[in-house]
Every structure is written in structure tokens, then in C-alpha cells.
Amino acid sequence: MARKPEGPEVQAAPGNEPGDLLSALVRPDRMPALRGSEKAFALDQLVSTAARALNLNAGQQLDLSAHVHAREAALNTQLGPGWAAPHATLDMADELVLVIGRSRAGIDWGRAGLAKVHMVFLFISSQRNHDQYLKVLSQLAGAFKDPESVAKLQRAARAESAAKLRRALVENGRPRVVVSRRLPALTRALIRNLLRFADDVDAQPIILFADVFRNPSHLQSFVSDKIVLASRATELPEALVAEARGLVRLARGDFSTESAVQLALLLAGARGLLGGGIRVVAVCGEKGSDNFDTIRIEAPRALMSRVFGKGARESIAPDVFERAVELMVELGEEGREGKPVGAILMLGDEEAVRELSQQLTINPFRGYAEHERNLMDHALEETIKEFARLDGAFVVSARGIILSAGTYLSPPAEVRVDLVSGLGTRHRVAAAMTKATKATALVLSQSSGRVTVFRGGKEVLTVTPSHRRVEATEPRD
């Protein structure tokens, strides 16, 4: 009756577990949001979605619609409070087809004493896959009879993606979280509740600083692809990293906790480890303490757009940005010859920056080959720190090539920036340059050692020094 659908289809073997089969049947092109409150109209919308999935022509779609409505007229398919499962048995495709309609307002399905229907599961099966249909239907019936059925229906009805819908339908209650008893009792309790909390707020993933633990291998029991591991200049066991979604390893070990969290979030996002989730949870603490003391909830899209927003990918590479922050933080911690220094590093959109700047002194990087003045070259580190004592700024290309040092920045006089109280001329000039160009500015405060990142004339990130260098002090230069 129908052509085989184009594109990859899910073929489930008869021996598959019903949960696996149900997960495979949930597809983003087969989960329409139902309009209106009439049952007949809801069925028509579901049939229309099924017809597109099966590449049916107009006549075939009318045939399918007739079968669905006829079966519904003969037998009401509402199987429980809040959900219904209409069905058509037609030899029109090799696969079992499931279309899942969701109605937030609810649809009166005609079953007295039962609540309105918010989830409608339209099955289209043939004689070849009828057994699979019965297995999946049985699992749905079991899922919506458990103590959390109301909450599960609510999660499923508001699911924004196929992945979230799968989790809402397939997970039977909360999975048991196994945490090694070798960890402190307080830490075990926090981890269990953190994982549940992240699930409740649809946070994907969790960024977990494994270097908090003296023996990170104790995390092995619960680390999964929902977790991105992070560490500060600490190697982690390969077996542990293999279980996680990925690893973010900061080059330094003495960032303040808040700065470490911000950098880990930013770098995980730049490396594609945060996915498309609405929220991400990060958890951190002092290295080797075996205890978490910082939990942060962040919207990854907002975080990434602040630093790597519109046009930023062309003006700054994530690895170059990471290296620039590392150098500025080290310079803030160490100073030069025992004295604190301040500095500006303009990163990216170098042509526009150079048009708004001039040399205060002879450019010490002029005439050298590009590979000899690359920010990513660790052999150049001491040279960069030495030239940081010059008045003026470093100008660095998007690829990390140092174009100049001792550069005087001259943003247009009409460019105004609104910064927090306490930030001085160095910060205001750098912020104005980022408003006049697409560059990103990193400013090291001489008085506090704090590194502030500006983009588009606004402060987008602040990296505070370790507590050994300075307590929380507002920069004044």
C-alpha cells in the first residue's frame, strides 16, 4: 500500500526488551503537539503525522484515517486517566509505527469517570509486527499504573525533545543511585540528591570536579554519559574518564572555586559537551577535600552566547581563549620580579583593533615568523609575561598570533560603556574597544589580580585569583 519511508528507520528485533523498543519508536518527527479539544480532530492530526512518516499519498491517508476512526467508534481506546492508545492494523509498512500526540489542555475522550486525555499513542502495525505492538502497549499500561504515573504523564506531555520524552516514558520511577561507601557520608548524600535534582530540572549534563576527591576512582559507580568530568591540573583515571561524556581539564590547579566552575562550563560548551539542554549543573569544591561546597545552575546557551556569541566564532577560537585566560591568571598570581602588574590582551578582530590603536614603543614582536609568536607556544610564556610590564596592550589574532605589545588603544570617543563601580581606565578602554569591534578583551587588574573578560562592551566573565594571592577585592585600576 505504501512506499518504504525514506531515511533511517528503527527496526527492532523480536527479542528486544519492550523498554528498548519503546525508546526506539519515539522519534522527533512523530510527536505532534495536538491542537483543539475534539477527539476526532486529534485523531486526524495524528493520522496526518503518520502519513508523512510513511510517505502516504492522499488516498492512502484517507484509508488509514477511516481505519483509525472506525476502530475508535467500535472501541474507546482511552486505557487510563490521561492517556489513550488508538490503533490501526494495516499491511502498509514493515515497521511498527508510533505517533505520540500531546495535549496540554486535555481532550475529552468519552470515558466517563476518567480524566481528560493529555497523551495519545497512535499505533500502526501489521500482522508481522503485531507482537511488538502488544509488548509496547503492555509496557505503557504498566508505566502509567505505577505510583508516579501522574508525574510521568505530566513530564511526557511537556517534553520538548524526543530524548526527554523517552526518559519520561521508559524510566520506571527513579533509578537507584549507587555511590561508593568509601566517600564521606555527607558527600554520598549530596551526590544522590544532586543526580535526582538534575533530573527534576532537566539539567543535562552535570559537570563534576573529580579532583575534589583524593581517590577519584571512587566515583566510578555512578559516573555515566550524563556527567562531564572536570579537573584542575590533575590527571584522572582513564577508566573513569571512559565512563563519562567527556573531560575538561583546566591547566592550573589554583583557580578560585567559582572561577574554576565558570571556566569549566565555558570550555565544556565550546567543546560541544553540554548538548542542547536547557540547564547544566556544575558541582565543585576544594581539591582533595572529598567534599563539594559549590553548586551552580547555568543556562549553557546564555553562557556560550556571552563569550562565543554572534560572530565570536570567527574572532576567537576556544583553545586560544583558554590559553589567553591561563596566561593572564598566571601573570596575576606571579607578577614580575615580585611586583603585581596589570595588562590588557585584545583577542580577535585584529584588523579593526589595529585601526583603533597605535604603538607607544617599538613593537617587540614585529618581524618574527608567525610560529615564533604564537600564544599557544608555551616556550613563549616568559617572553609574554616580560613584555606585560610595558604600557599598553597585547593585540592577538583569532588564531593566537601575537601582533604587537605596548599598543595604545584609542576607541572612538562616542563609544560609551556602563561598567560596575570600581573599574578604572584600563577596564573602560578595553570594554569600549570590544564595543567598537568584534574583539574580546581580557583585562588583568594590578591591584587584585582579577581577570575580567569583556565582549560587546560588557563584562562576560570574571576569573578571580586563588585565595593565597588576594581576598575578594574590587579592582581599582
Q: What is the pLDDT of residue 262?
A: 80
Q: Is the pLDDT of residue 13 over 60?
A: no
Query: Which of 239, 454, 243, 213 has the alpha carbon at shortest distance from 328?
Result: 454
- Going by pLDDT thresholds of 50, 70 and 90, the confidence category of residue 94 is low
Q: Is the pLDDT of residue 176 over 70?
A: no
Of the listed ranges 6-20, 35-49, 70-84, the least confidently predicted one is 6-20
Q: Is the pLDDT of residue 470 over 80?
A: no
Angle at 357 between CA 433 and CA 341, to 5 degrees: 75
Q: What is the pLDDT of residue 7?
A: 37
Contacts of 20-25 with CB under 8 Å at 24 or more apart are 21/96, 21/132, 21/135, 21/136, 22/98, 22/136, 22/139, 22/140, 22/166, 22/169, 22/170, 23/166, 23/169, 23/170, 25/96, 25/97, 25/98, 25/136
Q: Domains in the chain, start-ordered, CATH in brackets?
A: 18-170 (3.40.930.10), 185-307 (3.40.1380.20), 312-463 (3.40.1700.10)
Q: Is the pLDDT of residue 128 over 70?
A: yes
User: pLDDT of 380-428, one tens digit each?
Assistant: 888 888 888 888 899 999 889 999 999 999 999 899 888 877 778 899 9
HSE of 305 in the Cβ direction (CA atoms, 13 Å)?
6
Place of cell 543535562: 204
CA distance 261 to 282: 7
Per-residue b or e along 15-32, where b marks 16 or more CB atoms closer than 10 Å to that residue's CB: eeebbebbbbbbbeebbb
Q: What is the pLDDT of residue 197?
A: 78
DSSP 256-301: -HHHHHHHHHHHHHHTT-STT-SEEEEEE-STTSS---EEEEE-HH
> Of the spans 13-22, 194-203, 315-324, which averages the highest pLDDT?
315-324
Amino acid type, 148? E
Q: pTM of the full predicted structure?
A: 0.55
Amino acid type, 211? D
User: pLDDT of 260-305, one tens digit each?
Assistant: 888 888 888 877 788 766 788 899 988 988 888 888 888 776 666 6
The three three-digit cell numbers of residue 449, written as one number? 589580580
Q: Is the pLDDT of residue 175 over 80?
A: no
Q: What is the pLDDT of residue 429?
A: 93
Per-residue b or e along 227-253, where b marks 16 or more CB atoms closer than 10 Å to that residue's CB: bbbbbbebebeeebbebbbbbbbbbbe
The three three-digit cell numbers of residue 17, written as one number? 526488551
Place of cell 605589545: 405
User: pLDDT of 46-90, one tens digit each?
Assistant: 999 998 888 888 888 998 999 999 999 999 999 888 899 999 887
Amino acid type, 393? A
Of the listed ranges 10-19, 58-67, 233-242, the least confidently predicted one is 10-19
Within 10 angstroms of residue 169's Cβ, the number of other Cβ atoms is 25
User: pLDDT of 329-354, one tens digit each?
Assistant: 888 877 776 678 889 999 989 999 99
Q: What is the pLDDT of residue 4?
A: 40
How much is the average pLDDT of 98-122? 89
CA distance 292 to 14: 46
Place of cell 523480536: 14
The answer to whether 271 touches 247, Cβ cutoff 8 Å, is no
The answer to whether 118 touches 102, Cβ cutoff 8 Å, is yes
The three three-digit cell numbers of residue 328, written as one number? 593572564
The answer to whether 453 touches 440, Cβ cutoff 8 Å, is yes
Q: What is the pLDDT of residue 352?
A: 93
